Chain A
Amino acid sequence: MSELHRNSVTAVAAGLRARRFSSVELVRECLARIDRYQGALNAFISVTREQALREAEEADQALAAGTAGPLTGVPLAHKDIFCTRGVRTSCGSRMLDNFVAPYDATVVRKLRAAGAIMVGKTNMDEFAMGSSNETSYYGPVRNPWNTALVPGGSSGGSAAAVAARLVPAATATDTGGSIRQPAALCGITGMKPTYGRVSRYGMIAFASSLDQGGVLAESAADAALLLREMAGFDAADSTSVDRPVPDYVAALEQPLAGVKVGLLKEFFDKGLEPENEQRIREALRIYERLGARLTEVSLPYLPLSVPVYYVVAPAECSSNLARYDGVRFGHRCENPRDLQDLYRRSRGEGFGAEVKRRIMTGTYVLSAGYYDAYYLKAQRVRQLINADFIRAFQGVDVLIGPTTPTPAFELGAKTADPITMYLNDIYTIGANLAGLPAISVPCGFVRDLPVGLQVVGPHFSEARVLQVAHAFQRETDWHRRMPQGYA
């Protein structure tokens, strides 16, 4: 096996352009690595072998002809939440095990237009509901750093695939931390853009007001390169925002001197493991050395993020998942007796336990007599959290803190108690509630397991967030570290 997999997206794109290797070679290597490690990691739900090889040949022709786009020939994986025309799009659920999407999500379409090649669809928590990738109908994904541990979730398949260098990058989605938390637990970089920056069209909805597509890759530089292609207004998504997409790559090298960094007081709480905190403090010293000005910032409403999230997200999901009724697509029970039986058994069989739990929670909080007490109150607190962030950003350019309280945990460790599982997203949910761009970058190890540093910026400050992350990655090589056995 060659060393091609050790290349970042940036290096792969450059190597292809320079014709140092071909797209077919690259794709073959990805497919070979997927074959080799799928048994151990279970990172993929579908591998699109023939299609990928065919597209790689076309890419090589385009590269030879000089008609290549910015990502021509670069292999990628898509989280199985993005609809891909002619390819099963399961969303990690039995409900959609038989669903072949008749169209491409906007993100898929844009990346294809830029020349990227899909090699497969990655495993995920069912309908993106989970923080450990244990709710997938296709079985749990394992963490390449230690296969007894979870990779995080819900984008666990994308994170494990990138961490094990099965693909140089993968798309992902983040509703409460589903990009950043697995990035932290797998030792890679995960970027969630501002809500509305990337089209949600064709991205199967979990919680529409929180869902945002993004990317998992080795570095902030790679994330910048991919996001530049993924971002932008889409008339098919009314919540996407019509403003120009800056050149994120060009903005990376801006000097950091004078940048004001806020330390989120609420993130350094008693739930944060001391060693994990130490890694963050060490990272902050690097930022100081680079000329950033550090101040402590307090967001008093932020600790309410988790309860607010677990009202709003289930409420939206209870409605979003009503379309899976066994009538038009997806799982349908055998021999329904009548309409109610069709609904009950199709949904009962098609959905897993965590999805059902959230549908029931969401149905409850929207019910007559409870709406005001739960849904409406949660939305009000959400406004307050948003206002907290906006106030904080009047004084600082970015906020920095940990991505997760602890490194990766064992499979099954938290499945019995949903609340402890939910608390794993305590530092990431705030950015979703406020719709802010945020990135997680590897910042060291705790007990030989990677941990992540999180950078959160004001709305549409992706360029700044990426720049701050990139500055750290120029000084460190944590993001270059690969798990043993996959190097």
Chain B
Amino acid sequence: MSGWETVIGLEIHAQLATRSKIFSGSATRYGAEPNSQASLVDLGYPGVLPVLNAEAVRMAVKLGLALNARVASHSVFARKNYFYPDLPKGYQISQYELPIVAAGSLEIVLEDGGTKRIGVTRAHLEEDAGKSLHEGLPGVTGIDLNRAGTPLVEIVSEPELRSAKEAVAYMKKMHTLVRYLEICDGNMQEGSFRCDANVSVRRTGTQKFGTRAEIKNLNSFRFVERAINFEVQRQIELLESGGQVVQETRLYDPDKGETRSMRSKEEANDYRYFPDPDLLPVELSPQFIEAVRATLPELPDQKAARLSAQYGLSAYDAGVLSASRELAAYYEEVVREAGGEPKLAANWVMGELAAALNKENLDITSGRLPAAQLAGLLKRVADQTVSGKLAKEVFEVMWADGASADAVIEAKGLRQITDSGAIERVIEEVLAKNPGQLADYRAGKDKLFGFFVGQVMKATGGKANPGQLNELLKKKLGGG
């Protein structure tokens, strides 16, 4: 929108992949029978006390290190007080003034291929609330506290995102990172990875931030983009028509594609944060932090740089292939099995394979087509047993019945014809059958070259080696 600048900050909630809850021993498995994973601690019973899950701390430290952030040697849990039926204690244990992670950053790739570093203000540990259930319960509200006490890390960005696209790129990158670190399963449908977006607009060139609205609970990349675009449009229209944006919390309605007011600033809770006296401050020694650092895997940016350098891939390809550890591992296995051909492997993994997986709504972790099998096909492309075009046909058969490339090529007789004599014979037959076109060609109708190629391919069932065919055909047409 010309004349306006969008300012976005994201608060991402990533559910930590611990086996038990952050302050109790209950399991965190998704989809269990309501309230079957809620202990007395999760239910907020009189007299119970929280005990911090050390694994959740370790995971938050991992994230902090991966974001090049300051990992606090001293952080404090605080109580965020408000009443809600799915909040058993009447307060959420979170971190407020002293979070475990502060001042990090994450680099995103922009649409024009450039990069931008987005500041991460802080990341803190907290417990999730339960869920209110309405479906199938006429006249009453059910409470499921299975999720209550599930560990979350809330990652707060600086207001440095300037478009919905940037916001999505940032969120995707964070999604990639938490899965690399194996601290979150990233399952957005189950709510394991979701965000709130703080959105405001200001006149281009001004410094002061506009009044922001907070859009709650966005659990897909598409919703993030749509909700922000809608909200930006709404705010600009409001301001251009002389209105004012009010500070409020809004909800995105994916069915209508719009945001609507949930509560205003005046209705907002005063959370009365104060340090939780039931929990000691979290004190981390430099030795502990370094021990966690030693467990960090190769991170997405490092992996992309290495793939690019090691295999001569473009920055774009390297970026796509390092979108997940599993994808990159698959790619590297294909290259290894094929004995080289990194560029060909990249094209196939990002092209045919990605499309086929996508069609079946699968991802690389499905193991649908083992890397060695794909490599088997690439070897035949590389040694010219099959042409690139026929290889796609081979791939389809392999995908459908799981056969090896060689078996498909043999069974279907798709082996490429590279015998010059054989190709020459077919060319001669084609020329003999089409004297008129031959005369026209010789009279200067160069375009008919393609016609002859087509005819030869047709006659060989597409198996003639295209390079050899071109060369031999040129020779025949030129001399006779």
Contacts and interface: CB of A to CB of B under 8 A. Distances in A.
A146 interface: no
Given A323-B44, A375-B274, A236 B49 contact: yes
Contacts of B122: none
A91 B50 CA distance: 20
Contacts of B272: 318-319, 363, 366-368, 371
Contacts of B49: 200-201, 236-239
A394 to B, nearest CB: 26
A323 B90 contact: yes
B444 interface: no
B266 to A, nearest CB: 13
B274 A99 contact: no
Interface in B39-59: 40, 43-52
A452 to B, nearest CB: 28
A327 B85 contact: yes
B132 to A, nearest CB: 10
B23 to A, nearest CB: 9
Which bracket fits the contact residues of B?
20 to 34
B470 interface: no
Given A208-B277, A366-B274, A83 B47 contact: yes
A204 B46 contact: yes
B270 interface: yes
A339 B87 CA distance: 13
Contacts of A201: 47-49
B25 to A, nearest CB: 10
A102 B437 CA distance: 95
Interface of chain B: mostly helix, strand, loop or mixed: loop
A165 B148 CA distance: 46
A89 interface: yes
Contacts of A368: 270, 272
Contacts of A322: 81, 83, 89-91
A203 B88 contact: no
A73 B142 CA distance: 46
Interface string B253-286: 0000000000000000010111001111000000
Contacts of A202: 47-48
Contact of A89 (B46, B52, B273): B46
A328 B41 CA distance: 13
Contacts of A238: 49-52, 278-280
Interface in B47-87: 47-52, 79, 81, 83, 85
A328 B40 contact: no
Interface of B: 40, 43-52, 79, 81, 83, 85, 88-91, 143, 270, 272-274, 277-280
Interface of A: 82-83, 89, 91, 96, 99, 101-103, 105, 200-205, 207-209, 235-239, 315-316, 318-319, 321-323, 325, 327-330, 339, 343, 363, 366-368, 371, 375
16 contacts: A82-B47, A102-B45, A200-B49, A201-B47, A205-B278, A207-B277, A209-B277, A236-B49, A238-B278, A239-B277, A323-B88, A327-B88, A328-B45, A329-B46, A366-B81, A367-B272
